[in-house]
Amino acid sequence: MPPFDRSTDPSLRALEALRGYASVIVVLHHFALGFVPGFKAQMSEGLPAYSLGWLLNGTGAVYVFFLLSGFVLTLAYFESGDAKALLRAAVKRLPRLWPPAAFGVLLGYLALRLHLNENVAASALSGSDWLAHFAYADQTHEVSLLRAAKESVALFLRYRTLQFNSNLWTMVVEFYGSLLALFTAFAIAGLWRPARAGAARLNLVKLVLVVIVIGLNLLIPRGFGWMFTLGAGLAYSFIHRRFLPRSVAMCLGVLGLILVGAPVDGQSMLGATLIVLCVTTPGAAPRFLLAGFSQSLGRWSFPLYITHTIGILTLGSFVYVQTAPYGAAVQLLTAFIATWAFAIAFAYPVLRWEAWYLPRLNRQIRRLFAGNS
């Protein structure tokens, strides 16, 4: 089995770019929910959903995120066969996710505390219920820094409506789903272990592993857990070079793009899986995913995901209200520019933080396990 280089392998580089484009779709999804809710509803039904619906289907993009997490997290284990790779990934997960999520909560807190949110006034013009309720946030509690600090931790513990940055509901799924992916990887390796002596006992262990994986998936709402499980399965196939023919994978990628915009969750899940299957097949990924812009967008994906909702609720909404006398076209264009300006400006510190922090975190995790070996 020929080795591959993570930094140069085209399939892995294309996956990073795919994450970036998925984050753009999430921004478009929320922007449409806020400022053109009627158009968003039309694009979520019937033929529009199965043609260009993927452009505004944030749920489909989130399925892609989760699938990619399951894939990337389990690669090292399947490549090395060392169970410590699973433990390192599990220990690293919370300290990797918490600082950017805490920053996103802080942005929401400052927006509410300093009364920078213009979402209510903007919703009166656009008719968006999502915008009126601060992106469906919990508005029943006082705005305090202590509550924000607690929420930055609690959002990883249980599925709940958030107060300061409702877009971060995915963090609890990401955290538990990541652990599920790592356990799934362990189970997959066990299932393919050859049965020699003690075959009956080994088969019983395999059955138990399958039952546990299924049970854990059922605990995660809306089928999100299956994305992490499928991601681990695709990683196993990738490491062992089990690929579909290139032409077949490309056709499945097109079908996946059609399905990922579907209003039915199961179809969106299938669409996301087919897209990732296509991108991980050698030679099947669209070439633009390897271009410099796409690769850069991949690095910006998580920071933009963290910051963009607050941008819509503050600067985007403010500009939308202020430009109302100039007509809908000007409103939407200027609000769109303002939203992206806010998202990029506040995503940049997160990007720089990750560039400084993640190599150091990785070194500390390696030292921790080196000391325990």
Per-residue pLDDT tens for 62-108?
Answer: 999 999 999 999 999 999 888 899 999 999 999 999 999 999 999 99
The reply to whether 4 falls in a domain is no
Distance in angstroms (rounded) separating the CA atoms of residues 254 and 251: 5
Answer positive or negative: Cα dihedral of 293, 294, 300, 306: positive
The reply to whether 201 falls in a domain is yes
The reply to whether 3 falls in a domain is no
Distance in angstroms (rounded) separating the CA atoms of residues 113 and 117: 9
Distance in angstroms (rounded) separating the CA atoms of residues 241 and 1: 8
The reply to whether 1 falls in a domain is no
Q: Which pLDDT score is estimated for 6?
A: 58
- Between CA 225 and CA 229, with CA 227 as vertex, the angle to 5 degrees is 75
Residue 328, both tokens: 């809908």
Chain segment 324-341, per-residue pLDDT in tens: 999 999 999 999 999 999
The reply to whether 238 falls in a domain is yes
Name 196's bridge partners: 198
The reply to whether 350 falls in a domain is yes
Angle between helices 170-191 and 83-113 (to 10 degrees): 170
Chain segment 47-67, per-residue pLDDT in tens: 999 988 999 999 999 999 999
Q: Which pLDDT score is estimated for 104?
A: 98
Residue 240 main-chain phi, psi, to 5 deg:
-90, 10
Task: Sort 244 into a burial class: Cβ within 10 Å, 0-12 / 13-18 / 19+.
Answer: middle
Instruction: Return the closest-CA partner of residue 63 out of 262, 199, 214, 240.
Output: 262
| Type of residue at 352 | R
Number of separate domains in the chain: 1
Secondary structure of residue 350 in the 3-state scheme: helix
Q: What domain range is 74 assigned to?
A: 10-371
The reply to whether 5 falls in a domain is no
Q: How confident is the model at residue 3 (pLDDT cuts 50, 70, 90)?
A: very low
Neighbours of 243 (CB within 10 A): 17
pLDDT of 1 strictly over 60 = no
Q: Which residues are CB-contacts of 193 (< 8 A; sequence separation ≥ 6)?
A: 202
Rg (the chain; Cα; Å): 21
Distance in angstroms (rounded) separating the CA atoms of residues 275 and 323: 39
Distance in angstroms (rounded) separating the CA atoms of residues 267 and 80: 34
In this structure, are residues 298 and 17 in contact, taking their beta carbons and an 8 Å threshold? yes
pLDDT of 372 strictly over 60 = no
Chain segment 163-193, per-residue pLDDT in tens: 999 999 999 999 999 999 999 998 888 776 6
Chain segment 225-277, per-residue pLDDT in tens: 999 999 999 999 999 999 999 999 999 999 999 999 998 889 999 999 999 99
CA distances from 135 to 166, 257, 270, 280, 370 (A): 6, 27, 27, 34, 45
The rounded percent of the chain whose pLDDT value lies above 70 is 94
Q: Which pLDDT score is estimated for 219?
A: 84
